[in-house]
Structures are given as C-alpha cells and as structure tokens.
Amino acid sequence: METKELPKVKKQLKTIQLVDGTFTPSEASDVISALLDEKINFHKIQRLQVWEGNHKCNTHGLDGRIQQLIKEKQLAKEIINEARAKGTNISINGTLSLKFVD
C-alpha cells in the first residue's frame, strides 16, 4: 500500500481592510466607538461565560484586556476632540491581519 503525503497548508498572512477613509470628528467617533464597544462587549461576554462555569475562576486576563480597551477608547476620544478643536478631519486606516497558527 502506498502512502501519500497531504499537501501542507501555506501559513500565509491574509488581510482585511476594515476601515479606510477620511471622516469628520463625529463620524470618526461613531466608527471608533462602535468598533471598540463591540470588542469590549465580546470580552465581557467571554468573562461572563467563564464565570458561569466557575464562580471562583480567574478572569484577570480578560479584566485586563477590557481595561486596556477602555483606555484606548479614552485616547481615541482625546484625539477626536483635538481634531474637532482644530477643525480638521481624521484619516482612519484599520487593517486586520489574519494567519493560520498551529
């Protein structure tokens, strides 16, 4: 019996252009807040699911990520407020990089 080796899947980097454009401060605020709020809620749901399985579980990693995202949201607000004060628009380029991992 002959054995054939399966072809290996290339570990290529794939990208998705999530956001790309110039926005007014109000539009930029809406886009960035929506993205960050969604990510914060994702981690809150993960934390709740872990907690439901074990009320004594350690959620420090998830708590830390949530706090980090909240700080990033505050930083974004400061940048947007600065653009608003200067009367300028904001260019946003948000790319997701995806790759297969073993």
CB atoms within 10 A of CB 76: 19
59-97 residue pLDDT tens: 999 999 999 999 999 999 999 999 999 999 999 999 999
Structure token digits, residue 35:
């993205």
CA distance 51 to 59: 8
pTM of the model: 0.81
CA distance 77 to 92: 14
User: Has residue 67 been placed in a domain?
Assistant: yes
Q: Which of 46, 99, 43 is nearest to 72 (CA)?
A: 43
User: Has residue 93 been placed in a domain?
Assistant: yes
User: Has residue 17 been placed in a domain?
Assistant: no
Binning pLDDT at 50, 70 and 90, where does residue 5 land?
low
Residues linked to residue 14 through DSSP beta bridges, in sequence order: 98
User: Has residue 54 been placed in a domain?
Assistant: yes
User: Has residue 3 been placed in a domain?
Assistant: no
CA-derived radius of gyration, the chain? 20
Q: In total, how many domains does the chain have? A: 1
| Full residue range of the structural domain in which residue 30 is found | 24-99
